Amino acid sequence: MKKHVTEQTVIFFSVTKWLFLSSFMGVIIGALMALFLWTLEYSVDHRGILGIPYYFILPLALPLTIFVIRTFAPTAQGHGTEKVIEAVHKNNGKIQVAVMPIKLLATVFTIFAGGSVGKEGPGAQIGAGASSVIASLLKFSDTDRKKLVICGISAGFASVFGTPIAGAIFGIEVLTIGIILYDVLLPSFIAGFAAFTTAQFLGVDYTYFDIHFYKAVNLDLVLIGEVIVAGIFFGFVADFFITILTETERIINNIKYNRYLKAFAAGTIMVIATLIVGDRYLGLGLGIIENSLDPEGFLSADIHWYDFILKTIFTSISLGSGGSGGIVTPIFYVGATSGVVFGHIIHNEVALFAALGFVSVLAGTTNAPIASVIMAVELFGIEIAHYAAISAVIAFLVSGHRSVFPSQRIAMSKAGNIEVEEGDDIEHSNISIHTEDLEKYKNIGSQLKYKRLRWQAKKFNNKR
């Protein structure tokens, strides 16, 4: 009995400690996110002061962004969340103080000039940076610093998108594929909620969507079948997004030329492309996302079948050439517009499939299916929950052991005949397919299928 009382006392003081710390950090991060979102909104609203189309300054904006980041905060490069994951896994959550102001300014400048990036990366990096600074000032242990930094990720995500529960889960799910950090669950929830309510109190407005989807509890096998197929489709869309993103960055990095001139050239290419296809693929693209989710179908009819492809390319060039910003908002764009395409193909519930694409491509690209499903409920309503769960989890599995965050670690295999080195990050993971498991195809007389699969498995293993 005495041992039990001692245990409960220790837990009580631990809970009290993290209630205070996570609430405090949530309020600070909520205020920082309000500042970031106000600055971003103000800059976008005042593009007209240039006197020329805003995207004409992209060839100058990208090199300038590289210079500012390389000079003042090298770890602020890229799309934010990836650098925070890397800091948690490889540097005990330590993040430079300079990252916060530099990331804010670099992202605002990139989006102002039309760079196709998002806003969650800066949110996560600024939130995590603030948490790291507080942890250092209070001389926290490495373990407690990492916990507080994870709270910063959750708070940043929650207050950027207005999804406190999904934000909390995202922060503890995105670090490692197959593991949710339950020891940071309560602090993340509190930090996310505190940041969200603080930002709201300070006047930040969030967008929620009524897709007019109301479904009784009756069993609709046709719709369930369509959702399953949609999940597979969104998994391939997620895989396409990851491939284009990583290959574009690899190609740009392999060009043996001055990085500033490469950024200038990339910006020039984007300007020329914009003059041809229009500016719908630049910046955050929130208007296109809202059109995709139009429940009446009038605005979503203006979505082109190739929108998600071109948005992927513009985003890959923006980030690969040195632009600063997040990756999740472009993923929302790609998911929603690809969902419109799928809905038009099957001639059914376009807004529903746009919403499912919105969260399912997020699940497939970030390996965060639980946070994605909860986000669906927070943004679109409870009626979509079970369909979002089916679609998001299938997309998560179909996209394979890949991610837009190469520093994510792997703690599970997505299929029984695939072996992964648990504990490795995705970038350096050792993944192999058991060709002996393919012997079953011999037994059913499908020699051609067996030989093709065995050849594909050997090719995959050699490539890894």
CA distance 170 to 10: 28
**273 or 15: which leads in pLDDT:** 273
pLDDT band at 448 (very low <50, low <70, confident <90, very high): very low
CA distance 380 to 386: 12
In this structure, the chain runs to a length of: 464
Structure tokens at 117: 């990036």
Q: Which of 366, 295, 271, 292 is nearest to 334 (CA)?
A: 292
The pLDDT of residue 212:
64
**Beta-strand runs (E) in 316-416:** 409-410
The pLDDT of residue 166:
93
Q: Which residues pair with 177 in a beta bridge?
A: 410
- Judge whether 81 and 125 are in contact, CB under 8 Å: yes
| Element housing 433 (H / E) | strand 431-433
pLDDT (tens digit, 9 = 90+) per residue, 23-73? 999 999 999 999 999 999 999 988 888 889 999 999 999 999 999 998 888
- Owner of token pair 């905060």: 73
Query: Nearest-5° angle of CA 188, CA 192, CA 196?
Result: 175
Structure tokens at 257: 């030329």
Ordered structural domains, the chain, with CATH: 2-201 (1.10.3080.10), 221-398 (1.10.3080.10), 409-463 (no CATH)
pTM above 0.85, yes or no: yes
